[in-house]
Amino acid sequence: MSAVTRYLTGHLDEIAAEVAGEITARGAACGFLRDLDLRTPVLDALAVCTNTDGKAAALAAFRDLGAQAARAGQDAHVVEAALRAGGRVLVRRLANAAATLYPPTGEFITVMEDAFTGESEFVRAAIDAHRLAAAQRLFTYLHGTGS
């Protein structure tokens, strides 16, 4: 686990609260997020944004999140807006932690490149799964269950 990951994991509750506030402030609140403990998705996003060993499992969790949102009838644009709002908080937190731990050096640049790439990856994973689940839901609706 990197120093940045350890630092941010130590502030998980605070970051999760900030993510919830950012999502709400931007009007991207999703119904399926209301009852969700945001610490887990924040930890998953951190794994993706820091390119750690848990990245594959974290991306799978975002695919599950996107599919659940589709099954709950959430609009893909609202889901994407919520994920991007939360992603902005995490990238900002990563930048602050990296600047403290690695004042502008090659390692700082690597952390930031991973953060921006990771944010795109977890949003894309969730939205791709959302679209697939929504299409399956529509197909089932239009064609019945096949029984």
Query: Where do the domains of the chain lie, and which CATH numbers do they carry?
Result: 3-143 (1.10.490)
pTM of the predicted model as reported, rounded to 2 decimal places: 0.86
Q: Which two tokens stand for residue 22?
A: 């950012």
Per-residue pLDDT of the chain (147 residues; tens, 9 = 90+): 688 888 898 999 999 999 988 888 876 666 666 667 788 999 999 999 998 889 999 999 999 999 999 998 889 998 999 999 999 999 999 999 999 988 778 888 999 999 999 999 999 999 999 999 999 988 888 887 654
Residue 109 Cα distances to 50, 86, 131, 136, angstroms:
12, 21, 33, 41
